[in-house]
């Protein structure tokens, strides 16, 4: 490529403005958009003197000369100095005489030189001249305009490919391949080689068909192949004949042996990074590439490199833009949904917090539905499946909630298959009717009955468990017709309507059930309370003179008649709690009602309750305990009430038979029921024996009674005994610790509940058969239901009773009474009586074993005989 200095010395310069005359053809650019300069007479410039070439550094002699100056006296340095000191002259000249195409060419040359680092390029041009000849690229730049149309076409094609393919994984390579094809056509090349740079390996790699050919790789370095050299130097190289240039041993680097003239150009982005290298070549038939063609190729690659960056940025922006649009739409939908959900939440709170009646719920549904879709009127029809009709007690709400008087209007009824609402109720189809009177399904009778004119209708079915229970109908949208958005919002709202109506129906059923329950409780309370005659009879009885006789562990409370037992209870109350002020009438009613609420079962009846209360009375009176007075009161009342309403069945049977009580109480089923019955009796009028207690004392007594009654469940006995046993063995029991006292109260309850086991042998033996009769009755019922009873409850295994009693005493009774004797030694008579009875049962068990062995021997001998 030629140097600018040689061009300026050999090219004829355009005339400078002055006294000289311009040729006739100097008015402007020619029709073919090429710039032409015309020969003019020598120009005389006054006020200047010629500057010798060896004095070009002295500017003053040039600008201070007053004589005429001929254009032949000018040199390059003088002209540059003149233009530097007269920039307005250059501006005027360019604006007046230079066409737009030439200005564009200058701009492209300027940007091309800047992006390719002009200083380095000049050095490289000196080293790599085109086969020994140096020509400046501007020699042919005046012919650049002949490529304009093709360049614009190429730019359009490349821009289209970039916009389409840039986000594809191999989009850049596809775009560069399209660019290479365009350059080949623009400069009339025979073919091209396109390389991409691999920054990681510092290599160039061949691209064919938009895809990388990994077999054709080459290191980016100096003087190996033309492509590697250009990638290394970042400068364009044009060779007239590749075959005679020995500076590139590998030539083009690919199988293009027929190539002679070649242009090799770097493809760079706006930051100066090499994206790739393009080789365009010709064989001998097409001749050599010109400098103008080199400029065209350079321009296209420069523009395309910028476009690659732009397309990538644009692709990213478009991708983000698409996401932003998508998220904007999502945000808009979410905002709508949020408003709808807030509305539905308000509706739900309002409806479900104030379920008073079905009419109230219907009123709220209709008013909220109006607000939701901006309707003038709202109607809600319920389905009467028995009469196959739709009916509405509240109809056509407008202008807010109706008053109570307005809700007293008569019902409107019509067949379920008539009208818009009937069609929706029959088919389950949502109807949005913009003109009611033009729709055949519209029932005009409704308007006739109400005097209202219907225009637009939105009608929606209400479902519960897949069945249509009603229809909501919105009438006359205030601002046009009902839209699809109204349908969607209304459809969601209809679900809440169904739930609200369903819960309103359930609430009405519950309320009716509650009323029935109150009536039943009232009836039962009347029959379960003592009568005035019973109370009068109790008052007529004589009290025993002394209670010392019954204050014994060996005493049999079963000897006292059922008529006398209540009076003994009253006396035991007085004896134990002399410091407490009981209302004798309340105490009498309480005792008699407790007796009345025990069922007539073989063992767990009023007699058993009295015996347990008597046992606790004996313990409290004779043991050196330190229970508080309220704790003693709780223990005694708990014993008296601990088996209230007992059905003669165990907890396991109640669970196995799916008893309603087992559904209510998952653990200690009967014990919870006994306590609740106690509380129910205390709540009867004239039965609250604790009314003299303070609020805190009343709460404490009820808590202790519950604790004591639940402790009679043998399932709780074992963990309670284990904890108290551990404390007693460590000698850490303390009456001042409430937990210790409550554990001891629980063990006392078990000991008193089993009091029959320590009574004298004759009493004990009779009571065991009473207990077993109740167990055997349960076993008989289990057999009738297909269950296999436990051996203790199997009537067919009566002969095993002694062995069963021995096991029961050893497993439960002895551990209980031994622990009581360890903590309170004065209770040892309970342990002694139990041990004595154990010996008797052991004798019977041994005798049964001997008889069983003897029977087995006889049977064996019979078989042998």
- 133 labelled binding-site residue: no
Cβ atoms of residues 497 and 373 within 8 Å: no
Give 624-631 contacts, CB < 8 A, sequence gap 24+. Answer: 624/824, 624/826, 625/824, 626/735, 626/741, 627/741, 627/745, 629/577, 629/579, 629/580, 630/693, 630/697, 630/700, 630/701, 630/704, 631/704, 631/741, 631/745
Give the position of tokens 């309603």. 660
3-state secondary structure of 827: helix
3-state secondary structure of 626: coil
From first CA to last CA, the distance across the chain in angstroms is 140
> CA-CA distance, 222 to 207, in Å (whole number)?
21
> CA-CA distance, 717 to 819, in Å (whole number)?
12
Angle between helices 738-753 and 629-641 (to 10 degrees): 30
Cβ atoms of residues 443 and 414 within 8 Å: yes
Those residues whose C-beta lies under 8 Å from the C-beta of residue 133, and which sit 6 or more positions away, are: 240
Those residues whose C-beta lies under 8 Å from the C-beta of residue 537, and which sit 6 or more positions away, are: 563
Q: Which two tokens stand for residue 672?
A: 């919870």
- 643 labelled binding-site residue: yes
Radius of gyration of the chain (CA): 57
Nearest alpha carbon to residue 156 among 304, 305, 269, 266: 304
- 674 labelled binding-site residue: no
Q: Which two tokens stand for residue 294?
A: 């080199």
3-state secondary structure of 211: strand
Q: What number of other Cβ atoms are within 10 A of residue 271's Cβ?
A: 8
> CA-CA distance, 500 to 464, in Å (whole number)?
10
Those residues whose C-beta lies under 8 Å from the C-beta of residue 852, and which sit 6 or more positions away, are: none
> CA-CA distance, 199 to 274, in Å (whole number)?
9
| CA 373 and chain centroid, separation | 29
Q: Which two tokens stand for residue 193?
A: 């080689």
Nearest alpha carbon to residue 355 among 222, 507, 235: 507
Distances (CA, A) of 33 to 30, 138, 183: 5, 16, 22
Give the position of tokens 């005994």. 721
| CA 391 and chain centroid, separation | 41
Q: For residue 477, give the H/E element and its range.
A: strand 467-477
> CA-CA distance, 353 to 346, in Å (whole number)?
11
Q: What number of other Cβ atoms are within 10 A of residue 301's Cβ?
A: 24
Residues assigned a catalytic role: 604
Q: Which two tokens stand for residue 74?
A: 């000018």
3-state secondary structure of 378: strand
State the DSSP code for 453.
-
Nearest alpha carbon to residue 421 among 394, 450, 392: 392
- 309 labelled binding-site residue: no
Give 62-71 contacts, CB < 8 A, sequence gap 24+. Answer: 68/44, 69/44, 69/45, 70/42, 70/43, 70/44, 70/45, 71/13, 71/15, 71/16, 71/20, 71/42, 71/43, 71/45
Q: Which two tokens stand for residue 156?
A: 């359009």
Q: Which two tokens stand for residue 246?
A: 């020995």
Q: Is the dihedral of CA 649, 652, 656, 660 positive or negative?
A: positive
Which residues make up each annotated binding site?
608, 642-643, 753
Which residues make up each annotated binding site for Zn(2+)?
608, 642-643, 753
């Amino acid at each position: 490529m030629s140097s600018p200095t040689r061009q300026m010395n050999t090219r004829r310069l355009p005339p400078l403005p002055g006294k000289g005359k311009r040729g006739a053809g100097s008015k402007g650019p020619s029709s073919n958009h090429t710039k032409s300069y015309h020969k003019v007479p020598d120009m005389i410039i006054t006020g200047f003197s010629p500057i010798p070439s060896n004095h070009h550094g002295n500017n003053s002699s040039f600008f201070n000369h007053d004589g005429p100056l001929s254009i032949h006296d000018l040199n390059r340095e003088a002209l540059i100095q003149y233009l530097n000191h007269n920039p307005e002259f250059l501006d005027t000249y360019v604006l007046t005489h230079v066409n737009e195409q030439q200005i564009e060419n200058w701009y492209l040359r300027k940007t091309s030189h800047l992006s390719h680092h002009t200083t380095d390029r000049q050095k490289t041009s000196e080293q790599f001249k085109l086969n020994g000849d140096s020509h400046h690229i501007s020699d042919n730049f005046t012919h650049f305009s002949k490529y304009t149309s093709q360049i614009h076409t190429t730019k359009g094609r490349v821009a289209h490919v970039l916009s389409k393919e840039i986000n594809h994984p191999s989009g850049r390579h596809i775009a560069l391949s399209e660019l290479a094809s365009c350059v080949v056509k623009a400069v009339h090349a025979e073919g091209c080689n396109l390389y991409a740079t691999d920054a990681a390996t510092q290599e160039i790699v061949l691209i064919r068909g938009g895809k990388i050919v990994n077999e054709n790789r080459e290191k980016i370095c100096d003087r190996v192949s033309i492509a590697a050299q250009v990638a290394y130097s970042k400068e364009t190289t044009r060779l007239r004949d590749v075959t005679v240039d020995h500076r590139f041993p590998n030539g083009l680097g690919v199988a293009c042996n027929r190539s002679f003239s070649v242009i090799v150009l770097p493809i760079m982005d706006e930051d100066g990074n090499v994206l790739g290298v393009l080789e365009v070549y010709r064989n001998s038939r097409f001749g050599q590439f010109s400098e103008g063609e080199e400029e065209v190729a350079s321009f296209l690659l420069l523009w395309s490199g910028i476009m690659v960056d732009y397309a990538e940025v644009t692709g990213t922006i478009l991708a983000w833009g698409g996401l932003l649009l998508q998220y904007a739409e999502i945000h808009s939908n979410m905002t709508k949904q949020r408003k709808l959900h807030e509305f539905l939440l308000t509706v739900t709170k309002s409806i479900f917090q104030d379920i008073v009646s079905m009419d109230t719920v219907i009123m709220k549904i209709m008013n909220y539905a109006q607000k939701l879709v901006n309707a003038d009127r709202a109607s809600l029809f319920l389905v009467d499946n028995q009469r196959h009709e739709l009916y509405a007690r509240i109809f056509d709400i407008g202008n807010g909630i109706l008053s109570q008087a307005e809700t007293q209007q008569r019902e409107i009824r019509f067949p379920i298959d008539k009208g818009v609402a009937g069609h929706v109720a029959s088919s389950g189809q949502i109807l949005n009717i913009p003109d009611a009177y033009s729709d055949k399904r519209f029932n005009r009778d409704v308007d006739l009955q109400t005097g209202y004119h219907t225009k637009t209708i939105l009608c929606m079915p209400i479902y519960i468990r897949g069945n249509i229970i009603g229809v909501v109908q919105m009438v006359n949208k205030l601002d046009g017709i009902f839209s699809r958005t109204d349908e969607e919002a209304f459809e969601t709202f209809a679900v809440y309507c169904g739930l609200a109506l369903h819960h309103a129906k359930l609430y009405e059923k519950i309320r009716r059930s509650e009323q029935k329950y109150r009536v039943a409780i009232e009836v039962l309370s009347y029959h379960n309370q003592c009568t005035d005659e019973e109370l009068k009879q109790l008052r007529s009885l004589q009290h025993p003179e002394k209670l010392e006789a019954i204050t014994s562990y060996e005493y049999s409370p079963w000897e006292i008649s059922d008529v006398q037992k209540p009076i003994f209870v009253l006396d035991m109350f007085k004896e134990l709690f002399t410091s407490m002020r009981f209302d004798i009438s309340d105490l009498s009613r309480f005792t008699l009602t407790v007796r009345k609420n025990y069922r007539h079962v073989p063992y767990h009846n009023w007699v058993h309750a009295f015996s347990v209360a008597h046992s606790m009375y004996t313990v409290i009176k004779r043991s050196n305990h330190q229970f508080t007075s309220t704790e003693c009161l709780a223990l005694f009342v708990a014993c008296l009430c601990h088996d209230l309403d007992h059905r003669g069945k165990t907890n396991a049977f109640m669970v196995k038979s799916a008893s309603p009580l087992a559904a209510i109480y998952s653990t200690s089923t009967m014990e919870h029921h006994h306590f609740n019955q106690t509380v129910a009796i205390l709540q009867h009028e004239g039965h609250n024996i604790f009314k003299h207690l303070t609020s805190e004392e009343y709460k404490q007594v009820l808590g202790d009674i519950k604790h004591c009654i639940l402790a009679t469940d043998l399932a709780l006995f074992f963990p309670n005994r284990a904890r108290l046993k551990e404390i007693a063995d460590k000698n850490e029991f303390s009456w001042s610790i409430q937990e210790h006292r409550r554990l001891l109260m629980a063990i006392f309850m078990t000991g008193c509940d089993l009091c029959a086991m320590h009574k004298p042998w004759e009493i004990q033996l009779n009571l065991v058969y009473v207990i077993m009769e109740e167990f055997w009755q349960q076993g008989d019922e289990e057999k009738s239901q297909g269950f296999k009873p436990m051996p203790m409850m199997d009537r067919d295994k009566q002969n095993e009773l002694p062995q069963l009693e021995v096991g029961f005493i050893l497993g439960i009774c002895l551990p209980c009474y031994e622990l009581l004797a360890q903590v309170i030694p004065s209770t040892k008579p309970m342990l002694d009586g139990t041990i004595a009875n154990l010996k008797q049962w052991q004798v019977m068990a041994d005798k049964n074993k001997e008889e069983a062995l003897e029977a087995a021997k006889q049977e064996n001998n019979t078989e042998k005989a």
